[in-house]
Structure 1
Amino acid sequence: MSARASALTSLLSSWELSLRAANRSERTIEAYRLAVRQLAEYLDDPDATEVGRADIEAFLAHVLSNRSPATARQRYLSLGVFFRWLVEEEEIDASPMAKVKAPHVPEQPVPVVSDDHFAALLKACQGKQFPERRDTAILRLFYDTGSRLGEVAGLELDHLDLTDRVVHVLGKGKRGRSTPFGIKTAQALDRYLRARARHKAADTPWLWLGDRGPMTPSGISQMLKRRCAEAGIEPLNPHRFRHTFAHQWLANGGQEQDLMRLAGWRSPQMLSRYGASAADERARDAYRNRSPGDKF
């Protein structure tokens, strides 16, 4: 029996073409597809015209019973994009998402990397051997730029400018940006590059090398987990460095618009999300400098 022409799963390949034409990232496309596949499985792959508001709300309730509110919200946003596309393509008359409310996600600020923990990480990487030089450079680049894991892992040699102390990264939506870094990070990168020149895979364009060639995002995450264990601290997700960068920028009086450009954000909403990591600490520090009662 042939697949029904308007079944949800039968429309995925056409939708993916549209997403690629819009220059969506592979990670975004996969997240979108996952949401539709899960909805199709939950509803037994109905025709697109048969999906109603109640079906969407029941699916989101199902997701909430098994996963986090943040996951449910991501499924909601992905399905919104899918059904808007179906309306634009005239596969359906109206989106069943029109009056569905987004799942509420309680604010859970991500803790930042403390000075003591970062110092412990650097101490765990002390040494002059290739892995120590490489890992120190990676950690300092994370801490100094707030770049995403995929951005750091995807770096090539010619993306690095030690003279101007700038790294050129490719962010979400394949949007490039230039991010500056400090002198100590430049020194760590210089030391790594000299060690890298003697590596058996030195002729590859990729910046970070492991025993078997270029390091993947998974390889960098595993390195960080291993270094955390050696430093005697809790395992850190690479993304925590991004929250730390945003917090430190704002705590030191940096401008929000500058932070948006450095971090590669287009929506001001990202400022509140990332700035919330240590907002209470910044508020207390601001109060200490402006205590109302101290003037009496």
Structure 2
Amino acid sequence: MLEQIEAYLLYLQAERAASPHTLKNYTIDLQQFRTFLRTSGLPQSEPAVSGSTGLTTGLIEPGGTVHRTVELAEIDSLAIRAFVADLHRKGIARSSIARKLATLRSFFRYLCREGVLQANPAKLVPTPKLPKRLPAHLSVDEVDRLLVSPSEEDAPGARDLAILELFYASGIRLSELTGLDVRDLDIREGLVRVKGKGGKERIVPVGSKAIAALRRYLGRRSDLIQGSKRGAPEPMALFLNRLGGRLSQRGAARIVLKYLNRSGVGPKITPHGLRHSYATHLLQAGADLRAIQELLGHSRLSTTQRYTHLNLDHLMEVYDKAHPRA
């Protein structure tokens, strides 16, 4: 699929502003499908030549073996169903299979739009049913315990508290938090400008306690730059590591997990769980679902609606405790 994959990934990057993470996943999914076509025993044609619409499945090996090609027209819904069945046999999680199938649908839809294919063979393949998992979140008391864990005695401690406070106060993603620059923060108005998925920007309000923690961190942030012993400092980045560079997503995740364990909350949630906690607590307090959608940066309301299940559980708990005939 080399030529078609490269053109598709370039389209995603240039026209759809897909993130590096998305591009990486799509590349893996399409290469895996390409490998399956090569070994599945599908009807094969002569090796592809320049300008062919075939999906190249390999190269000429040192021993002279030629990996032949599969013509695009030969790939039908049965071939894709066979690929999905193969993933099931290998024990791949349903959520991962659903993502790979979505990648194929998008890829073949692109080829149809470019006039390479007449129909999308992945359109008729159903998505595996996924278990309805409610996002794990913390209670308000657990959040309070978490936010008193960091010590502000030094610059890293002040930074860690600012990260936790901002995470919970804004509900932004881990990648959005580490991508923030100092100029994205409006301390006076209590706002932060966030660049989300697909390069979409949104303005998110930040609470007074998070703003106070950010003020204290900004007052000591220069210590991280001045203390840099190697590597080039990044003065524009809001959150810095001990070397003065931009804090990575992995580094921020380690910080959150450290304080989850220190506070006694333990491995109940992942760092992303603070985002779930933010949304759940807003909904439980009566916030409008559309407003939460805008704050979280969800493109679809259906993504936000999963939190209504959590709210229903909360309401049922209140009802059972409070109603005399419950």
Question: What's the TM-score once normalised by structure 1's chain length?
Answer: 0.89
Q: CA deviation at 1:174?
A: 0.4
SS of the aligned residue for 1:247 comes to helix
1:177 to 2:170 alignment: no
Change (3 A) 1:242 1:270: same
Output the amino acid matched with 2:279: A
Match of residue 249 from structure 1: 282
Output the amino acid matched with 1:208: F
| Aligned residue among 5, 8, 18 for 1:15 | 8
Distance 2:30 2:106 in 1: 10
Q: CA deviation at 1:281?
A: 1.7
Q: CA deviation at 1:288?
A: 6.2
Distance 2:236 2:317 in 1: 46
Where relative contact order (Cα < 8 A, 6+ residues apart) is larger, the structure is: 1
Output the amino acid matched with 2:304: L
Which structure 1 residue ranges, 5 or more long, are not aligned? Answer: 1-7
Work out the percentage of aligned pairs sharing the same amino acid.
Answer: 27
| Aligned residue among 242, 265, 268 for 1:211 | 242
Q: CA deviation at 1:108?
A: 1.0
Change (3 A) 1:102 1:22: same
What is the count of residue pairs matched by the alignment?
A: 286
Q: CA deviation at 1:274?
A: 3.9
Which structure has the bigger radius of gyration?
2
Match of residue 51 from structure 1: 75
Q: Counting helix residues as a fraction of each chain, which structure ranks higher? A: 1
Deviates more, 1:185-194 or 1:87-96: 87-96
| Aligned residue among 294, 297, 300 for 1:264 | 297
Alignment check: 8 A CA contact 1:83 1:96 kept? yes
Which structure 2 residue ranges, 5 or more long, are not aligned? Answer: 39-56, 58-69, 227-232
Output the amino acid matched with 1:107: K
Deviation track 1:213-260 (CA, whole Å, cap 9, x = no partner) reads 210111101112222232233233221111111111110000111111
Distance 2:308 2:247 in 1: 30
Q: CA deviation at 1:183?
A: 0.7
1:193 to 2:218 alignment: yes
1:72 to 2:103 alignment: no
SS of the aligned residue for 1:209 comes to coil
1:139 to 2:164 alignment: yes
Distance 2:107 2:325 in 1: 55
Deviation track 1:144-172 (CA, whole Å, cap 9, x = no partner) reads 11100000010000000111101111000
Deviates more, 1:45-54 or 1:100-109: 45-54
Alignment check: 8 A CA contact 2:257 2:271 kept? no
Q: CA deviation at 1:264?
A: 1.0
Question: What's the TM-score once normalised by structure 2's chain length?
Answer: 0.81
CA RMSD for the aligned pairs?
2.1
Distance 1:52 1:138 in 2: 49
Distance 1:138 1:174 in 2: 22
Output the amino acid matched with 1:214: R
Match of residue 88 from structure 1: 113
Q: CA deviation at 1:17?
A: 1.9
Output the amino acid matched with 1:53: S
